Structure 1
């Protein structure tokens, strides 16, 4: 028997704490005018106190269960995409599985940075086609604020925290299949363009040795050039191979890096900007969570017109995917 995956529902969650540009300007040399001009971002949400990445992901998981009328023990696959995990081990997905009491789900993390949600959906789709899994959660969750250098205005002002995800269910009908086509890629030659959490090896055996991780870093200009050059080309190649015209696309949900990148990708594709939903002004760059949060909050009707997802980030990983809700 042939199996497919259908996308049954989406959900999202944001921490309560809203951080304005003016507040950041009190702790680093920046201003609301500079941030808005360079990024389009006005506010973002921060997780604080005891709220960590697994907590954000768990809230999304609970919403997915409620919206789909499933019990936790019916989920048998749980993928969390994140570059800001609770810890290197155990996987954040394992923690979420425990909090949800999804006792029958295998759970693991995917680290593909801002392309994480697209990569996670692709993995879940292939696993569900095997017929071994009936219901899968793909949740992207990030607490970027805990990895920021608050003396670095060129990176910190971009980022916010949040989580979003989708629930996939197995189907025998190709008419219900969510995935139309996909194209994933990695350019490892630019691996140092964006990095976070690097842990250096020891130089000697000493009682003073203790593991430390570095803060988030990005070469903003290089990222902009990469995203606005490689991503439109990948999207055009994907559409050509799928034999779908840009005019037939309902909307393009890009990684919410910053408004200027989204505007430039839109211009290069020569598409109307109203086909590019965006949440980055209110929520900032949420890394892998940006696409599912935007999809959940701005895609209100479930018609079958194709939606294009495009994520790009550290690795450098980038992926574009045509889906039907």
Structure 2
């Protein structure tokens, strides 16, 4: 008997601390006017005082359990997509597993940068369709603030912290299938976007200690990629699925920059009213942005939705879903 994937519940969470453009302008050469004009961002939230990525993800996991009525003991798999984990090991997903008491699950992290949620959904879908797993959480969580160079205004003003996620469940009813089509791609480019690089040692010495670099992006290259290559992928996926852009209820893009979302809307010939966005309030929350925007409109879904995200790798993925 064929098994399908049903999208059952969504959730989102942001830390309490709100950071305004003016606050950032006080420590770097920028201004509220410049940030809003170039990015559309007004505020963002930062995790502080020991609140880390696993804490944000746990908040979302608890929401998914509450909304779905599924017990933690029934969760089979937890995937956390992040490029800002609590640590290289153990996986942030394992910390979430412990926090919610999902003692029958296995858990792992996935690194696909800002495309993480789309990659995570596609991966969870395969586990469920195998017939071995019934309840899978996909949570995208980022504490970008801890990886920023606050002397680099080309990156620091964009990013905020947050988490979003979804519970996916197995179903044998094809009418309940939520994952309709997907396209995942990477370009093997390590220069346009990178973060947390750890250099090998050059000699054996007592002074050796691991260090990582701050987040970096080549803004113009990212903008060009996001407004040319990414819309082509989106249009190709829709064509292969036999879905016209006008059939879509929503298009939820990576919340990188409001200007990029506006450009993509123009390329698809759709109004901005069909593009839910949270970047003004939350900034670029990396892999969490799409998940958070989906959670905000999930209760109102009646038609197909195209999820598209892009980031370091260069990784980019589109997933066509319905409720």
TM-score bracket for this pair, using the shorter chain length: over 0.9
Q: TM-score if structure 1 supplies the norm length? A: 0.98
Structure-to-structure mapping, 1:216-231, within 5 angstroms: 216-231=215-230
Unaligned runs of 5+ in 2: none
Asked if 1:157 is matched to 2:157, the reply is: yes
Aligned length: 323
For structure 1, the residue ranges without an aligned partner over 5 or more in a row are none
Q: Give the whole-Å Cα distance in 2 for the aligned partners of 1:74 and 1:204.
A: 49
Show CA shifts across 1:14-51 (max 9, x none). 10000000000111111100100110000000000110
Q: What's the counterpart of residue 181 of structure 1? A: 181
Residue of structure 1 aligned with 2:311, choices 313, 316, 321: 313
Aligned twin of 2:34: 34
CA distance in 1, matches of 2:244, 2:297: 22
Structure 1 CA distance for aligned equivalents of residues 55 and 2 of structure 2: 36
1:236-315 superposed matches below 5 A: 236-303=235-302, 305-315=303-313
Report the Cα offset of residue 106 of structure 1: 0.7
Assess if the C-alpha contact under 8 Å between 2:47 and 2:161 holds in 1: yes
State whether structure 2 residue 62 is matched by structure 1 residue 57: no
- 1:84 Cα shift? 0.1
2:10 equivalent in structure 1: 10
Contact 2:249 2:301 in 1 (8 A): no
Q: Write out the 4+ residue segments of structure 1 that deviate beyond 6 Å after TM superposition.
A: none
1:119 is aligned to 119
Give the match for residue 212 of structure 2: 213
Rounded Cα–Cα distance in structure 2 between residues aligned with 1:159 and 1:293: 15
- Give 1:302 deviation, angstroms: 3.4
The root-mean-square deviation of aligned C-alpha atoms, in Å, is 0.7
1:323 is matched with 321
What residue in structure 1 maps to residue 194 of structure 2? 195
TM value normalised by structure 2:
0.99
SS of the residue corresponding to residue 169 of structure 1 reads: strand
Counterpart in the other structure of 2:24:
24
Q: What does residue 107 of structure 1 align with? A: 107
Match of 2:5, SS state, is strand
Quote the Cα distance in structure 1 between the aligned partners of 2:106 and 2:204. 38
Cα deviation for residue 248 of structure 1 reads: 0.3
Alignment-derived partner of residue 73 in structure 2 = 73
Q: CA deviation at 1:271?
A: 1.0
